[in-house]
Amino acid sequence: MINILITSASRKVTLVKCFKDALVKECVDGKVTAADINPLSAALYAADGHFIVPRDDDPKFIAALIKICKANKIKLIVPTRDEELPVFAAAKDKFCSIGTTVMVAPPETITICQDKRLFVNYCLFHGIGIPRCYNISPDGVIADCISYPVFVKPRFGKGSAKTARADNEDTLRYLLKSEPEAIVAEYVRADEYTIDVFTDFAGQVISVVPRLRLGVFGGESFIGKTVNNPVLIDAAARFSRTLGLIGHNTIQCFLDDGEVKFIEINPRYGGGASLGIAAGADTPRFLIKLLKGEQLAPVIGQFKDGLYMLRYTQDIYIDDPQDIH
């Protein structure tokens, strides 16, 4: 039996359903359970079971998850929230000792992905393409001759929160007052892509699916299209191997006049990951195969090209959730 726990389930109903479908496709007995801090999270009611857990910054968080895993014979934890990734990465061995695998990269990889300054420096050191970044001193002194407009984003953050375009120096200085450690980069006028990269637990790249971001809200893709572009696929695969990513990862980049410029990595399932799954890179099924002890052969580039995703909301109706676990 393979039981799976998806944490910070929130509105990720589609992801829960993808894992439930994967169990059926693999003819494996098991349940997909979900956990969240909010009993009114929709994904809880799409799962086979659900749990309310402490916040990931609560000292009791890991102990509560271990208790759930022991009682429910959980074989795999799939974290889905940025803030919980370093917590799970640090506690990975604790879960391993009770027979639970956590889909999470090593702590140092998580740190690089979540600290945009470290991310930029890592890419520069390894010769990985990124938008040009300008030097801003801690006291706000602009050391470089800047070509406007520029894109300003906080050193720590997710989605599009606190990001802005600056068309002149006055605007840039205004933005830096509230975010003195912000990353200031060239404003790239090119198609933006999200690339779903899946690796096995040893870091071998199994699948890579680029998808063009056609409609974005709050930093999350709601309209997208798969694109079988070898340049994007090769660049993302190389980056994944260099950084040591594990499981399903969401990589964002521009393709600027044939040059791949990476801007961010979320080492977890992203909101639009279902498009890659529907296109043939069934990463929940890959994870179940790994848990069964199977060796996965790479299927890089083997997915349906030109498949569109049109995401929409759907309503769920429940009775009073006060008796939830």
Hey, what are 51's tokens? 């749990």
- Sequence-distant (6+) residues with CB within 8 A of 313 are none
Q: What is the DSSP string of 258-287?
A: TEEEEEEEESS--TTHHHHHHTT--HHHHH
Helix orientation angle between 283-291 and 13-25, rounded to the nearest 10 degrees: 50
Which residues, in sequence order, are bridge partners of residue 35?
51
| Rg, the chain, Cα only | 20
Q: What is the pLDDT of residue 152?
A: 96
Please give the DSSP secondary-structure letter assigned to residue 42: G
Pairing type for strands 49-52 and 74-78 reads unpaired
Q: What is the pLDDT of residue 29?
A: 97
Q: Nearest to residue 150, comparing CAs of 189, 95, 96, 99?
A: 189
40 vs 11: CA distance, rounded Å: 10
Domains and CATH numbers, the chain: 3-103 (3.40.50.20), 132-186 (no CATH), 189-310 (3.30.470.20)
Query: pLDDT of the chain along its 325 residues, tens only?
Result: 999 999 999 999 999 999 999 999 999 999 999 999 999 999 999 999 999 999 999 999 999 999 999 999 999 999 999 999 999 999 999 999 999 999 999 999 999 999 999 999 999 999 999 999 998 876 655 667 889 999 999 999 887 788 999 999 999 999 999 898 999 999 999 999 999 999 999 999 999 999 999 988 777 778 999 999 999 999 999 999 999 999 999 999 999 999 999 999 999 999 999 999 999 999 999 999 999 999 999 999 999 999 999 998 889 999 877 555 5
323 vs 222: CA distance, rounded Å: 34
Please give the DSSP secondary-structure letter assigned to residue 296: P
Q: What is the DSSP string of 124-184?
A: HHHT-----B--B-TT--B-S---SSEEEE-SS--TTTT-EEE-SHHHHHHHHHH-TT-EE
CB 311 within 8 A of CB 289: no
Q: What is the pLDDT of residue 313?
A: 87
18 vs 298: CA distance, rounded Å: 21
Q: What is the pLDDT of residue 143?
A: 60
262 vs 58: CA distance, rounded Å: 33
Give the full edge-to-edge strand order of the sheet including 247-256. 259-266, 247-256, 191-199, 205-217, 220-226, 308-310
Q: What is the pLDDT of residue 159?
A: 74
In Å, how far are 2, 34, 53, 212, 319 from 291, measured between CA atoms? 8, 19, 25, 31, 35
Query: What is the identity of the amino acid at 278?
Result: A
* pTM of the shown model: 0.94
Q: What is the pLDDT of residue 247?
A: 98
Hey, what are 294's tokens? 């199977």
Tell me how far the alpha carbon of residue 171 is from its chain's centroid. Answer: 31
